[in-house]
Structure 1
Amino acid sequence: MTMEKPYYSQQPMGTPQMSVQQGNRNAKNLPLHNGEREWSEGLCGCTDDCGTFCVACWFPCISYGKNKRRVDHLNSKGYPDPEHGGCCNSDCMVHGCLTGCLGLGWILQIGVRSNIRTRYSIKGGGCGDCMSAWCCAPCELTQGSREIELEEQSFSGHH
């Protein structure tokens, strides 16, 4: 005699004890206007975070690679990257080559800045993204890093 396994047509539902951890995408509770808000920190406030700013000045490829990996991880996994962006990854290498050989690494930053703005419902557009990356790449990289950091810190148990 063969016993058949029961057939289940749907996934089990969550129970009240289960919770989905979610970060706060507006940790400073900035006001929304038409569903969008300002950046949590101004572009010129970059020097308030000296360590991140210095890395962005002298090694923008590292800052770019970390920001890209962190926001991509949040978008795909829903929680902070346990490696906090790592150090040197393929995105870092591409940015470094474009910056070192052609001075064009800032072009890659436009896409990451746009992704950050979209994730956090921040006002702005492509022209502003381009100008901030081109005119002040270290400040733009620091501002993006700080925005991601606010959400990462909002996850319980993450510091």
Structure 2
Amino acid sequence: MSASIYGAARSVDVEPVQVPNSGKWSTGLFDCGEDPSNCFATFCCPFITFGRNVEIIDRGKTSPVEATRTYYLLGMFGCAFCHSFPYRAKLRAQYSLLEEPCGDCLVHWCCIQYALCQEYRELKSRGLDPSKGWAANAVKMNQNGREPPVVEQGMSR
């Protein structure tokens, strides 16, 4: 996916934590043991982790309930990866991460739970906590002297 597809979302990007953009993910795709509770939750209910990740990646514009519902419904037909891999691409674009170990679509198609866990860990390593939702993360950024992007009224967790 090219960065131009996500141009509108990038116009409000605010890096919550200054981490050098080496292009490397903070953890590997199969490093689920670094966060065992998220690993367990993701392997049992991947749609919940996906919803949490999406809310943070979209900076509060997409509700986790909406993302979870769509993922779950598509998952019933075996094609949840069609909805999930663009968010991996968007996360990579926000933090200048490499597309590894292979293309985003293939990673989500073959290893969707591992990919969701890695994306969750990446957000946490950037100082964001997907389990708390966008509003709580925005307050935290504001308290730390960073200005979170403005999100339209009516968006809630």
Q: By the TM > 0.5 criterion, same fold?
A: yes
Q: Report the aligned-residue RMSD.
A: 2.6
- For the pair shown, the structure with the greater C-alpha radius of gyration is 1
**CA deviation after TM superposition for structure 1 residue 72, in Å:** 1.0
**CA deviation after TM superposition for structure 1 residue 91, in Å:** 0.8
**Which of 16, 26, 43 is residue 23 of structure 1 equivalent to?**
16
**CA deviation after TM superposition for structure 1 residue 99, in Å:** 0.6
| Structure 1: runs of 5 or more not aligned | 1-20, 77-84
Matched, 1:52 2:38: yes
- In 2: Cα distance, 1:49 partner to 1:96 partner: 23
**Aligned counterpart, 1:109:** 84
TM-score, length basis structure 1:
0.64
**Which of 67, 75, 81 is residue 91 of structure 1 equivalent to?**
67
**Aligned counterpart, 1:139:** 114
**CA deviation after TM superposition for structure 1 residue 24, in Å:** 1.9
- Cα deviation, 1:6-55, whole Å, max 9, x if unaligned, reads xxxxxxxxxxxxxxx952252xx46x3xxxx1111100102221111112
Instruction: Name the structure where helix makes up a greater proportion of residues.
Output: 2
Query: What is the aligned length?
Result: 118
Q: Per the alignment, do residues 118 and 96 of structure 1 end up closer, same or farther by CA in structure 2, a change over 3 Å counting? A: same
| Structure 2: runs of 5 or more not aligned | 1-13, 129-139, 146-157
Give structure 1 regions of 4+ aligned residues with deviation exceeding 3 angstroms. 153-157
**Aligned counterpart, 1:150:** 125
**SS of residue matched to 2:31:** helix
Q: Is the 8 A contact 1:25 1:120 kept in 2?
A: no
